[in-house]
Amino acid sequence: MRILITAGPTREPIDPVRFLSNRSTGKMGYAIATAAELRGHEVLLVSGPVNVPTPGGCHIVSVETASQMYDEVMECSKGCDAAVMVAAVADYTPRETSPQKLKKSGDQNIKLKRTKDILGSMRQIFEFDGVLVGFAADTEELRENALSKMKSKGCDFIVANDVSRKDIGFESDQNEVTVFQSDGSKDHIKKCSKQDIAEKILDKIESLLKG
């Protein structure tokens, strides 16, 4: 199986020393890449800036911004059997980036614009027809938001986790997730290592491809 995985955050530059980003460490995406590589799959990993050891045998493409990730995913998704979109891509980016460091001179008014929707582009723009897996990190109405996202983005299943909890998720080696599938079924995975969750996600992908 040829599998595309996105991981980590993006950084949206404000000036040469500042950027907008988020708390994603890339651990979940890298865990899936590691598990897939150990199963003998061909792995293309498009990664934002992280401090995580690169899985051996993976083809890794490093990016910084949401725009760069969009372009690389569009190219890398061609010919893939599955895509697992784990990256925490910025929803907004500054309209303008200052070429010089902004000085302390009172309040700054930074205007933002929407970034391109990578997951939402997979089916309609990139014409990806493989197994598509999305991730939904939220702080409220987890089920409703995950189901809405799965339907609107055309995912085969979506992995939802509550990022308001302090003991799992961002910056942790553990997580607790609920997997919602497009056939209406769901599977709750109790708190465990991200590597164990990665194995369960790959089991589902392989099952869908065999079916």
CA distance 7 to 32: 9
Q: Which residues pair with 110 in a beta bridge?
A: none
CA distance 49 to 70: 15
Q: Which of 189, 154, 156 is nearest to 175 (CA)?
A: 189
Report the length, in residues, of the chain: 211
Q: Which of 203, 210, 199, 208 is nearest to 34 (CA)?
A: 199
Angle between helices 194-210 and 27-38 (to 10 degrees): 50
Is 22 marked active-site? Answer: yes
CA distance 39 to 118: 27
CA distance 157 to 142: 14
Q: Which residue has the tokens 């999305």?
A: 134
Kindly state the DSSP code that residue 55 receives in the 8-state scheme. Answer: P
Kindly state the DSSP code that residue 116 receives in the 8-state scheme. Answer: P
Q: Which of 22, 51, 145, 175 is catalytic?
A: 22
| Active site amino acids | 22
